[in-house]
């Protein structure tokens, strides 16, 4: 009796395994299935600050290089929408004398000059678009708007750059 029960259990298990993997007469020697995915459009920005970014000559109104901004997009377009914004509304805040700030203008090499960051500024900026990730770099410069009678103290601002595809 014990042997009969073991035999029935083995036959039942084998039948269950074969039921899940059975081949029918209509099956062929070939099959196929679709594969795929999606890469969403995006742009990337890299900013490499130069030595003068935190050591501006505030006695001069000449353009002073502060950063090299590199942009790459995966859309194949040669430009990207780039927004420049200022934490202080386009002025260098004086940390000693409240309200005695220095306005400045922003220049982007071969793109735009004399941008006031009192409000966000959107520019169409060159972008790399190859599959190796090569970017296009543009030098960003600051022109302090000084007259020689500014208050003493340390002055600062933060510029934020946001990039998106066209």
**Which domains does the chain possess?**
45-165 (2.60.40)
Going by pLDDT thresholds of 50, 70 and 90, the confidence category of residue 5 is low
Specify the range with the lowest mean pLDDT, choosing from 6-15, 47-56, 62-71, 83-92.
Answer: 6-15
Residues 47 and 161 sit within 8 Å (Cβ to Cβ): yes
Task: Provide the pLDDT for residue 47.
Answer: 84
Asked whether the predicted pLDDT for residue 13 surpasses 70, the reply is: no
Specify the range with the lowest mean pLDDT, choosing from 30-34, 51-55, 112-116.
Answer: 51-55
**Rounded-to-integer distance, Cα 93 and Cα 107, Å:** 19
Asked whether the predicted pLDDT for residue 84 surpasses 60, the reply is: yes
Q: CB neighbours of 103 closer than 8 A, spacing ≥ 6?
A: 90, 91, 92, 116, 144, 145
Task: Provide the pLDDT for residue 148.
Answer: 94
Residue whose pair of structure tokens reads 């099959």 in the numeric block: 31
Task: Provide the pLDDT for residue 49.
Answer: 76
Task: Provide the pLDDT for residue 10.
Answer: 52
Task: Provide the pLDDT for residue 152.
Answer: 96
Going by pLDDT thresholds of 50, 70 and 90, the confidence category of residue 12 is low
Residues 141 and 63 sit within 8 Å (Cβ to Cβ): yes
Q: What is the pTM of this model?
A: 0.79
Task: Provide the pLDDT for residue 3.
Answer: 57
Task: Provide the pLDDT for residue 132.
Answer: 82
- Count Cα neighbours of 133 within 13 Å in the Cβ-side half-sphere: 3
**Rounded-to-integer distance, Cα 137 and Cα 165, Å:** 16
**Rounded-to-integer distance, Cα 74 and Cα 56, Å:** 35
Task: Provide the pLDDT for residue 75.
Answer: 92
Task: Provide the pLDDT for residue 155.
Answer: 97
Task: Provide the pLDDT for residue 11.
Answer: 52
Q: What are the phi and psi torsion angles at 3 (to 5°)?
A: -65, -40
Mean pLDDT, rounded, of the chain:
89
């Amino acid at each position: 009796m014990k042997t009969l029960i073991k035999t029935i259990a083995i036959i039942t298990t084998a039948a269950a395994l074969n039921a899940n993997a059975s081949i029918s007469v209509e099956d062929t020697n070939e099959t196929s299935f679709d594969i795929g995915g999606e890469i969403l459009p995006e742009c990337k920005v890299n900013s490499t600050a130069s030595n003068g970014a935190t050591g501006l000559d505030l006695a001069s109104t000449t353009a002073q290089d502060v950063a090299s901004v590199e942009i790459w997009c995966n859309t194949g377009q040669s430009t990207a929408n780039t927004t420049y914004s200022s934490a202080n509304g386009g002025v260098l805040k004086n940390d000693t004398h409240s309200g005695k700030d220095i306005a400045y203008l922003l220049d982007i090499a071969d793109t735009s000059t004399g941008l006031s960051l009192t409000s966000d500024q959107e520019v169409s900026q060159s972008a790399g678009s190859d599959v190796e990730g090569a970017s296009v770099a543009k030098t960003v410069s600051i022109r302090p708007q000084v007259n020689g009678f500014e208050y003493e103290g340390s002055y600062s601002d933060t510029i934020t750059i946001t990039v998106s595809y066209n």
